[in-house]
Amino acid sequence: MKKLLIALSLLWVTPAFSATDVWLFYGAGPHFLSSGIDTMARRIRALSGIGHVSTHDYRDTQNVYDQVLAAPPSDKKVLVGYSCGGNASLAVAQGLHRNNIPIHILAVQPSVWCGWYLPTTPNVRYAQDTYGNCIQTLGLGCLQFYGDAYRTVNIYRPDLHLQADTDPNSINDVVSATYCISTGRCRPFVRHLHNTTSITRYSGQTGVWRLQER
């Protein structure tokens, strides 16, 4: 009995662990054409504070929506998508708005041809879009985020669409943002990150976030 009381007392004094759960959407077509999503997932799994990580077809929005709803309320939730997968992330976030579920969206070259799920909804805490040139990508990767997200960052990187998900810089955009969401140990390179910020980055240039100095 004494041991039981001690165990119950620990439940009150030990804070619940809050993880960051991440769902990643491939682009349209065979998944090997979105192999950068697998690289992102592998690197994200190795980050501190990460819980659930899974990859999905861009049409698997209902399943992801259900999984997010079933996740622990204390967990932070991140949707990642490449090409049509970026549009899928927006669609899921809009559905979650009806349940007032806070969400983060990280996209690489979302498409203007895969459904229009803008403006972003107020439940989106952070929306990051690494986009390309409309002519260069034929519209497949040039959708720019706007709307009611608490904070939006559009990062222009002039990549060809089929190379964007495997570009180490685009991968770092997603992985570093996920790390910062999970740990809170980062600060923006931009001194005053406004509600909506647009920046340009070329090959080898870092993204938006850097490790918080201690």
Kindly report the CATH number assigned to the domain that includes residue 144. 3.40.50
Looking up tokens 């001690």 gives 6
Please check whether residue 11 lies inside any domain of the structure: no
CB 103 within 8 A of CB 96: yes
198 within domain boundaries: yes
Question: Would you say residue 10 lies in a domain?
Answer: no
Residue 3 in any domain: the answer is: no
For 38, the domain range is 18-211
Q: What is the pTM of this model?
A: 0.87
- The answer as to whether 4 is a domain residue is no
Q: Residue 180: which of 193, 166, 167 has the closest Cα? A: 193
Contacts 24+ apart (CB under 8 A), 135-139: 136/160, 136/161, 137/109, 137/161, 137/164, 139/111, 139/112, 139/113
Strands 196-200 and 152-156: parallel
**pLDDT per residue as tens digits for the range 76-90:** 999 999 999 999 999
- Residue 6 belongs to some domain of the structure: no
Q: What is the mean pLDDT of each run of 10 residues along the chain (214 residues)?
A: 34 57 97 97 96 98 98 97 98 97 98 96 96 95 96 93 94 93 74 68 61 44
- Is residue 71 included in any domain, yes or no? yes
Q: Which residues pair with 37 in a beta bridge?
A: none
**What residues pair up with 187 in beta bridges, in sequence order?**
210
Domain presence at residue 7: no
Domain count, the chain: 1
